[in-house]
Chains A and B, each alone.
Chain A
Amino acid sequence: MLAAWVLLAAPLSAPAQIASNPPELEQAIATTKAAFPKLVQFGPPDDTEHFLNAVDDAELEKLKARLTSGPFDDKVEAAVYVMLEGFSRMQGPAQTFGRNLTSEIAGLAATSHDKATLEGVGRVLMRFLEDQSHPFSILSQGLLGEKIRCGAASEGDDALVASITKAVNPDKEYDFGSTDGNTADRFGIHPQADLFSVAARGPRVAVAGYFGSVLVSQNGGDSWDAPNTGTDEPFFAVIFGPGDELWAAGRAGALVHSKDGGRSWLRRPTPFARHIFGLYTDAPDTVLAVGDYGLQLRTENGGDRWLCIPRVQDVILGRIAPVDSDGVVVGEFGTIERLPKGIPPGKRGMLRGVPEDTYVYDAWFDETGKVGLAVGLAGTILRSDDGGATWNKVKTEFTQDMFGVGGSGSHAVVAGEGGLLALSTDGGQTFTRADSPPLPIPLYDVDFGDADHAYAVGPRGLVLRSTDGGAHFKVVHGGSGS
């Protein structure tokens, strides 16, 4: 047993000796020695590969402070490079420490609000990325793509955003667009698109889905319009803003804005191509978009400029439910966060007796702002009666995946796999199956326009409507109905 372990470990503990370091590294080592003499303890000069022995904790904190609040210069950049490169050549816990440090430094740079810092750390990471055999190459790809790019976008450093986008997506040479954004409109695809999101306000209903589809009804779902949104990218979220505003967003950063209730749409591209799964708005021309890789983007001028708010954790963020004047965002790994005024960072709700890895898809709060429901994979229904501070699991007969929840007053409806629609009339304490057509397809979202009218959406343009507070649902669009 031991012999086997030694054999396995042998090649790891004795890697091929690197003859000499590249000149830019030697240069950086010299700069670091001169500028931060106490930061790095260097090894024996003959071991060019393992040139780094240790890092002084206090000096490291000082360096981090330079990253957070400046000033940033060539010397800091050299020190960061030397330190991270040194850790990348170590094994086991030391390398892991190096990885975490890399991640942390990227996070600090992203939130530094300083172009020089972003560009400097970006250059270091870019160097790792370009060397495909570098232990931190893939790590750097992620950090550059998410954190540095997010920071650069929030600083308006479009050149850096573009250069990172090019570097992390080697596919760009093949990106000829493939469609002009009007294909779905021209070929009449919109009415049959898979629908992922529904928003209802009184008799106005908007549903959004695949191929840039936003279907709008002004009469509670009796008739629908399928306007051209100018994109063929899938949409995963649609919300009503103040007045006649509508927002929809989805794959690869696609986001559109309408100021006339969905008749005409403006493309408001986000700074880089990350999927958007949730939207929140509480003021004109203002929207928060969240999504894949913990994306958090906010605009206050209708999408002319985007503020990217970096997150520490890379979690998939889903829909955002309005509660009082805040938003509650849900996502991967049991994420249920209350965002004050809809602005991240938020405060995480406590899950009591609920596994931390619960995948949460959607949440809804009643008018009091106290009672909340959240739904997720494998029949998960969570309930809060303290405005989302703590959550408990609701016991039901259902085991299928739940993708949407919506309600009005004490009525709440959950939607899920296998055409499931279940109704609660007691503020989410108990659920029973609603009377709906037996559909072997998933339903992705549900929303109430008023106390009686509820809408649920699914694949192929399917919209179900209830006119009695969620007790009975009937197909009003798509499916076999049209």
Chain B
Amino acid sequence: MTRAERFSRFFAAQRNWFAVIIAIITGFFAWQLRHLEIYTQFLDLLPRNHPFIKIYETYREVYGNANTVVAAVVAKNGDIYQPDVLRAVQMLTAELDSSVVAADINALPASHYVTPHGAVATAVHALVAAADRVFHGNTAVESETGVDHNLVTSLTDRTARDSRVELDGTLVSPQLVEQIPESPAELAALREKVRRNPSVFGVLVSPDEKAALVRASFVETRLDYGALFKHMQAAKAKVMAQYPVDVFVTGQPLLFGWAYAFATEILLVFGLTLVVSVLLLWTYFRRFYGVFLPMSGAAVNVIWGLGFAAWLGYNLDPLVLVVPMLITARAISHSVQFVERFYEEYEDLGDKDEACIRSMAELLLPGTLAILTDVFGLLTISLATIPLVSKLGLLCAFWATSILVTEMLLNRLLILYLPAPSERQHRISPLTARVLKAASEIVVSRRGAVVVSLAFLVQTVLCFKLALNVPVGEHRPGTPILYPDSEFNVAAREIASRFYGLDDLLVVAHSNALGRVYAPDSFKYIESLQRALEVDKNAGGSLSLVDLEKQTSRLFHNNDPRFSMWMQTTAEIAGISYLMETSVPAPGILDPYRSRDSMSLAIRVFYRDHRADTVSGAIERLEKFVDEVRLDGTLAVRLVPAPKPWYRQRRWLDALLGPQRPNLEVTQAGPGGTRQVMPIPAGATHVDGPDGSAAEVRQAGFRKPYELWIKLGEGAEWQLQPSGTWLKDGVELRYAAGSIGVLAAANEEIEKSHGLSLAIVFVATLGVLLLSYRSWILSLITLASLASGSLAALALQSVLGIGIDVNTLPVQAIGVGLGVDYAIYLVDRILQELKRLPTRKEAIQHAIRTTGMAITFTASTLVVGIAFWIPISSLRFSAEMSLLLSVLMIVDALGAILLVPALIALLPRSWLGTSD
């Protein structure tokens, strides 16, 4: 008796204990479900350890965050210099500046604010609306928008000023639009004022003068994405109804809003998937158990998974819900394998309990193996430093592990408790049987096996080539989550084509010396950076205090354009800054440009999109500048990357090996202005400087990057330098925040995690297989099937341009785990049949006809269950994921049914120890 059979018999004997334990745990998780929350937490999308994110978090409160809504008012006829168009801008500004979402607007479900286009979408929307009417909870309360009033900018807002110098030399900056101008002369005057104002023209008014922009930043911790979405959609409709304008609204918070708006649809689609699965199960088995066992197991599995999430206080992001759903689909698939096997044995034995024990014993190894590889895949993604991904990895790893109990044990329990099935005969779909029989005959013939193997080899090599080009990050303008013609993406395109761009890169010029950033060399430094980044064809423009000072300097020199340059002394710059601050009655007008502690200035560069190329191009250029152009002052201490050894050339290895130890660079400006660089030998962590000052390089944990700590004198406190640089009196560029900086950090982490998780999954899978089969050749055959599936999916991503990002990374990693299941089941079956049947040929044919049947069925169930997302889903993301997973599953199933047996058939006889 094998160990698996001993356990199965023990389990059958102790069934009551097992039932009680499973019931208690299920009850516990069901009780936890009341804490479950589904929402998006922006901070979860950021890799907290990444230096960019540290800078982002340092300056979030000062210069605003990446949660910016951008709205454009476009005149239907003519330009914006019409009273009605300006009134529309004013109205939209007021709506964005509003702190609360009115109760009557918040009362309606988010789907109410969606206008469907096209017949399918209209039908789906009607269904969603109906569902919302029934299920929508009471939200008729005022909700906070979390808007930061100082970070609202618009042509008609108080933040847009018209500076001019009076005859007596005083600078006045009245609001640019205090009252809506009515007469043609007033409108023409406004046009001239706008054209001269670098912080308005091109930024808040498009260069073609047909559109005006309203920007608002939101405090992420106080932001209700759903309510804000309703608020903005209602405001948009209101403005468009009243004035002859088009309104386009976009921005990160709105994207989450759209995801909420489609939440009901996602749930409906899930529901539909469930119904389809039940129907398919019935069509296939035509037996009560065939439907009841998988579905009951899936239900308990979902309770465990969601309950676990709630227990740990995780929020579920609507966009990644597809991942847990997949795992549940895996649970169903395992269950189908079992039910199929049970009926097979039952038909053979006629004894329900004995059939159950035997099928359990035979599936225990492949089932556990398959689930363990799934779990490894999921655990590796929890290594990612992006909280959303790592939480999801951990949650799903548990969720997948729970399949061991909720399906594998629970199914058996139910069969043991339930009465024996009335029909003993195992139903076989005649068409599938014929196809599988043909397939099995092909792969056992030598020529067929060679052809199949070669075909897969060609496919794998081709896909590998394509897979090398899979983009990391977003690959298309707008958001890939929604369709290009979605309202959100249309708005994003419209705004990006008319203005400097939607996405901003924030760099902070910081100095430890108070007021140092206001020196002329600092201004020159800042403007050099702006112009250097603007050369990038994806950059639309940039804005900093330097631009405003240049403009003011020009005003003080009779509008002479040549004086639109940085001033010559700190005194002049400080003087102009003072005048700019005091010429405006409202405080905080310069908040987006400078910090109130006189230590830093903000540089914002706008980009037309946030495609991965754009982001990496921007960061590359920025890093080149920071590296080559420095304003160090008298003493500079900084961490600089050490030269990469050969084994670090691939970026993803960094994630495995931990961050590389940097070098410490100390630059001193000598008396003659010369600079002396003192490289610190590797291994040293402590460097003494002048006057008892000292620098240290520290590392907080294995996966934490190295940190620079500085002590300014004898007995002074050690201070962390978040940017890895400390300058006594120089100006340092801290980067990178803004939406581009945040995305760059996420992309870098994903690039690392992606390669790493694929590598670990393969190694771990190989390890598990080796342990179980104790055969290199069988393990490698299984891996070959796995590789062909994952590479096909990656190749598809590459061809369709679906980038690997926070949303798709988990799907990829899970796909790998999924892929191996089928192959494991089939290999295991062949091994079992080899013992029972006389020849290898027969064993292979029998395995294909039986286990291959279950594989065909589970794969087709899953594919049919998700395939209809493609035409009906309003979220492009769901549709694409569905396509991706369908391809993955079909290739994996084909690999298991054709490639694995073909390779086994081709093996030299001696390797398997059987005859033909």
Q: Name A residues whose Cβ lies closer than 8 Å to a Cβ of B.
A: 169-171, 174-180, 183-184, 186-189, 192-194, 196, 210-211, 232, 234, 236, 251-252, 273, 275, 277, 316, 332, 359, 361, 377, 401, 403, 417-418, 440-442, 444
Bound CA–CA A211/B562 (angstroms)? 13
- A171 lies within 8 A of B570 (CB): yes
Q: A171-B569, A175-B520, A187-B532 are in contact. Are A275 and B631 (CB under 8 A)?
A: no
List the B residue with the shortest CB-CB distance to A187: B532
List the B residue with the shortest CB-CB distance to A169: B569
Interface size class of chain B, counting residues whose CB lies under 8 Å from the partner chain: 35 or more
- A277 lies within 8 A of B528 (CB): no
User: What 12 new A-B contacts, CB under 8 Å, besides A178-B631, A189-B528?
Assistant: A170-B570, A171-B570, A179-B528, A179-B629, A183-B528, A183-B532, A189-B535, A275-B565, A359-B558, A377-B559, A440-B195, A441-B195
Within 8 Å of chain A (Cβ to Cβ): is B525? yes
Q: A176-B730, A178-B522, A186-B628 are in contact. Are A332 and B570 (CB under 8 A)?
A: no
Taken residue by residue from 170 to 210, chain B's Cβ proximity to chain A (1 for < 8 Å, 0 otherwise) reads as 00000000000000000000001001100001000001010
Bound CA–CA A359/B554 (angstroms)? 14
Q: Which of B192, B521, B532, B564 contacts A178 (CB 8 A)?
A: B521
- A377 CB contacts on chain B under 8 angstroms: 558-559
- B571 lies within 8 A of A251 (CB): no
Secondary structure of the A contact surface, majority rule: loop
Q: Chain A's nearest CB lies how many Å from the CB of B870?
A: 40
- B624 CB contacts on chain A under 8 angstroms: 187
- B521 CB contacts on chain A under 8 angstroms: 174-178
Within 8 Å of chain A (Cβ to Cβ): is B519? yes
Bound CA–CA A480/B252 (angstroms)? 29
Q: Chain A's nearest CB lies how many Å from the CB of B843?
A: 68
- B561 lies within 8 A of A170 (CB): no
- A236 lies within 8 A of B562 (CB): yes
List the A residue with the shortest CB-CB distance to B531: A189
- A180 CB contacts on chain B under 8 angstroms: 629
- B531 lies within 8 A of A170 (CB): no
List the A residue with the shortest CB-CB distance to B205: A440
- B558 CB contacts on chain A under 8 angstroms: 332, 359, 377
Q: Chain B's nearest CB lies how many Å from the CB of A32?
A: 35
List the B residue with the shortest CB-CB distance to A180: B629
Within 8 Å of chain A (Cβ to Cβ): is B703? no
Within 8 Å of chain A (Cβ to Cβ): is B292? no
Taken residue by residue from 510 to 525, chain B's Cβ proximity to chain A (1 for < 8 Å, 0 otherwise) reads as 0000001001111011
Q: Which of A170, A183, A236, A252 contacts B629 (CB 8 A)?
A: A183
Q: Chain A's nearest CB lies how many Å from the CB of B545?
A: 16
Q: A174-B570, A187-B625, A441-B195 are in contact. Are A232 and B528 (CB under 8 A)?
A: yes
List the B residue with the shortest CB-CB distance to A459: B561
- A183 CB contacts on chain B under 8 angstroms: 528, 532, 628-629
- B532 CB contacts on chain A under 8 angstroms: 183, 187-189
Bound CA–CA A423/B377 (angstroms)? 73
- Chain B, 361-376, CB within 8 A of any chain A CB: none
Within 8 Å of chain A (Cβ to Cβ): is B534? yes
Within 8 Å of chain A (Cβ to Cβ): is B407? no
- Chain B, 507-554, CB within 8 A of any chain A CB: 516, 519-522, 524-525, 528, 531-532, 534-535
The contact sample of 12 A-B pairs, CB cut-off 8 A, is A170-B571, A171-B569, A171-B571, A174-B516, A174-B521, A178-B525, A184-B531, A188-B535, A210-B531, A316-B560, A418-B192, A441-B195
Within 8 Å of chain A (Cβ to Cβ): is B122? no
- A184 CB contacts on chain B under 8 angstroms: 528, 531
- A178 lies within 8 A of B528 (CB): yes
Within 8 Å of chain A (Cβ to Cβ): is B669? yes
List the B residue with the shortest CB-CB distance to A186: B628
Bound CA–CA A179/B731 (angstroms)? 12
- B562 lies within 8 A of A196 (CB): yes
List the A residue with the shortest CB-CB distance to B621: A187
- B570 CB contacts on chain A under 8 angstroms: 170-171, 174
List the A residue with the shortest CB-CB distance to B731: A178
Bound CA–CA A187/B520 (angstroms)? 21
- Chain B, 607-641, CB within 8 A of any chain A CB: 621, 624-625, 628-629, 631-633
List the A residue with the shortest CB-CB distance to B569: A171
- A193 CB contacts on chain B under 8 angstroms: 531
- B561 lies within 8 A of A232 (CB): no
Bound CA–CA A69/B528 (angstroms)? 48
Within 8 Å of chain A (Cβ to Cβ): is B729? yes
Within 8 Å of chain A (Cβ to Cβ): is B429? no
Q: Chain A's nearest CB lies how many Å from the CB of B651?
A: 25
Bound CA–CA A439/B328 (angstroms)? 61
Q: Chain B's nearest CB lies how many Å from the CB of A16?
A: 28
- Chain B, 831-863, CB within 8 A of any chain A CB: none
* 3 A-B pairs with the lowest CB-CB distances in the bound complex, closest first: A178-B521, A187-B532, A174-B519
